[in-house]
Amino acid sequence: MEFITVTQLFFSTLFVCLVCLNANTLQTYMVHLHPHGMTSSLFTSKLHWHLSFLEKTVASQEDPSLRLLYSYHTAMEGFAAQLSEAEVKSLKKLPDVIAIRPDRRLQIHTTYSYKFLGLNPTRGGAWYKSGFGRGTIIGVLDTGVWPESPSFVDHGMPPVPKKWRGICQEGQSFSSSNCNRKLIGARFFTEGHRVAASKSSAPNIVQEYVSPRDSHGHGTHTSSTAGGTSVPMASVFGNGAGVARGMAPGAHIAMYKVCWYSGCYSSDIMAAMDAAIRDGVDILSLSLGGFPLPIYEDSIAIGSFRAMEHGISVICAAGNNGPIESSVSNEAPWISTIGASTLDRRFPAIVRLGNGQTVYGESVYPGNHFMTTGRDLELVYVTGGDRGSEFCFKRSLPRDKVRGKLVICDRGANGRAEKGQVVKEAGGAAMILANTALNLEEDSVDVHVLPATSVGFDESVRLKAYINSTMKPMARIEFEGTEIGKSRGPAVAQFSSRGPSFTNPSILKPDVIAPGVNIIAAWPQNLGPTGLPEDSRRVNFTIMSGTSMACPHVSGIAALIHSVHPKWTPAAIKSALMTTADITDHSGKPIMDGDIPAGVFATGAGHVNPGKAIDPGLIYDIRPDEYITHLCTLGYTTTEIFSITHRNVSCHEVLLMNRGFSLNYPSISVTFKHGMRIKMIQRRLTNVGSPNSIYSLEVTAPEGVKVRVKPHRLIFKHINQSLSYKVWFISRKSTGTETTRFAQGDLTWVHHNNSFYRVRSPISVTWKGKEY
């Protein structure tokens, strides 16, 4: 990929300033071109062809090349440029222009988790069978990487794969020597961010490494979770101590820095995907996203389709907008969409009240001196006024009210760790972070800058009731270290975004869930463990929560599967992840979502199980052409489908040739619209287990639905043999009401002689009323 740099990038400090008045009328757009455009043959290179569109559009007194940000060749055909609204209108009229989209800003959405998932180095396990992910390359799009972290040491790593075509791009505080056999490549993409930042009202000087080096920590954390090497005696100030390992410690990592202090811009993301495909990655891990969009407007979906065609598995975070219904992002069926779950590890930090009662909380605050004396502190909760003191906003806490006291801060609006800094600056001695009705019992913890603990909503109600019951409430925090196995897990993380898919409800999303709460992984040495600028402490590891943390777990597991089955398609790898996922926790009881058993819109197929995923028995494979037929069933236009797939299709003809088509997806989603009583779907399974295998059917029918399957038995004589089956769903309910209702079940194919092979597909059923 060629691109023209508008300003010199390699300088020590990134200055953000107001640019000329003309720039205020310009905005970054991504211009999507026909990959075999009639006018392209007139030019000696794609770059010159792309520039020709600007030459026809930009005023003659300007140099059009100064407007060009990126020239895309692989993830899509086209370019990103700064344009005015009038220029966009002119461009749309030119031949070979398919679509023009404004740049979108997206956001970035372990010492124990590998053990929790059953990964261990003994013979016969997933690590052993895959050589710990040996030979697989994981590309990570994120905030960059801290290459000196012990998680990226290359001791014992094999040579860089011969197919690798990437680079170690030099920049500020980053040289080619920072790459090695573990971190084999690093690039950065700043043009979209630079343009947006130049128009921002943020402070006029912002420190940022203009290079692949990570100045935020998120990318170092996610990339080490996916493929970090083994680091003994890792902990966060003694909490969660153990050996830190990524999911695929033998895999190679390539970092593509696309996220900056102002966010992650789709023009930069597309440029990174363009490069990653050509570089030769096997897995792409994107712990970022936005709100749901139609697939033909979603740059990640478009770039991912091209990656999928090149045999690259794309793993994306589902988003952190849960438990809101239909909040799941990265919904394209060729993307593996990952929700977040909890572990069975806790960090108890109990609040002992003056009346003798206790309130349960959790914290990874690194020890605490005044607690050893058993001294109680006065408990305060500052409310009233319009300064947001209950949320502990900056400069909202009167020093005379909080000095030397244990301060309660409600969650919300500003960062959790930031609230502790506010309390500290106001003279407070300690903090209790209280969940509200919005957060309920979610228990993400932080490495606070002062003694602190986090309590759930129910406990916060009790805590505040105690404050109101006495003239001088007193309390102390008792830190109890790390506990493993004393709580149920996994459970669904409350913040994990939920289905059904907003733009494509015929596909159940998320696909699976994976550990994403209180994950310990690598951290840069330029930041304190909270990431706050005031935090002067330095650590090699810290703790974070989010679907951003869940995503690289699955990226690493996908790398293990790829190492064992290098010829498998991305759809085959996704099928293995989904059909082997667990629906029970480690105690054998249903995975919970708060106080109720989790539904399929929270868990997808279930909780990822790497030991089973590496040997699934059967897979649901999908060819690229089948995705195109699926897009036709969604009612997409020829132009919309072309913008995603670069293929000219007549949906009328495609659907005539594929009557009754249903995508061969590992999960099943059925919608009964008003007046509909019967729905038939078809699936195709491929044997990747052993020859002469017989599978029998087990069905749990969704409530209100009769399920018929033909055949009831699948007899595979050979490896790689494919057999199909049909499922009829017959609604026992009327669809005449004005509401939407849901039910769920599952369909499982069980091997006759080997109970290890249980190939399960979750079923979701939706009834829609007249207004739909």
Alpha helices per DSSP H over 539-579: 547-564, 570-579
Structure token pair of residue 692: 């002469």
Structure token pair of residue 586: 């480690």
> How many CB atoms within 10 Å of residue 468?
8
Residue 142 annotated to the active site = yes
CA dist list (Å): 299 to 267, 515, 615: 8, 27, 33
Residue 71 annotated to the active site = no
Question: Token match 């001088």: residue?
Answer: 472
- Give the integer Cα–Cα distance in Å for 360 and 447: 18
Q: Are 433 and 409 in contact (CB under 8 A)?
A: yes
Verify cis geometry, omega within 30 degrees of 0, for the bond prior to 702.
no
| Parallel/antiparallel/unpaired status of strands 541-544 and 519-522 | antiparallel
CA dist list (Å): 184 to 136, 163, 173: 11, 12, 17
Residue 36 annotated to the active site = no
- Give the integer Cα–Cα distance in Å for 673 and 604: 22
Question: Token match 């996994």: residue?
Answer: 490
Which SS3 state, helix, strand or coil, does residue 393 take?
coil
Residues forming beta bridges with residue 29, ordered by sequence position: 81, 102
Residues forming beta bridges with residue 410, ordered by sequence position: 434
Alpha helices per DSSP H over 30-174: 46-55, 85-92, 113-116, 126-130
- Give the integer Cα–Cα distance in Å for 370 and 350: 15
CA dist list (Å): 584 to 126, 337, 558: 20, 20, 21
End-to-end CA distance of the chain: 45
> What does the DSSP assignment read for 219-277?
HHHHHHHHHPPPEEEEEETTEEEEEE--SSTTSEEEEEE-EETTEEEHHHHHHHHHHHH
Which position among 32, 34, 73, 218 bears the catalytic label?
A: 218
Question: Token match 């770059």: residue?
Answer: 47
Which position among 230, 267, 548, 555 bears the catalytic label?
A: 548
Burial of residue 536 (CB within 10 Å: 0-12, 13-18, 19+) is exposed
Q: Are 138 and 555 in contact (CB under 8 A)?
A: yes
Structure token pair of residue 541: 């590891």
- Give the integer Cα–Cα distance in Å for 288 and 730: 39
Structure token pair of residue 11: 């300088």
> Residue length, the chain?
772
Q: Are 251 and 557 in contact (CB under 8 A)?
A: no
Structure token pair of residue 182: 């573990």
Which position among 142, 344, 582, 585 bears the catalytic label?
A: 142
Report, as residue numbers or ranges, the catalytic residues.
142, 218, 548
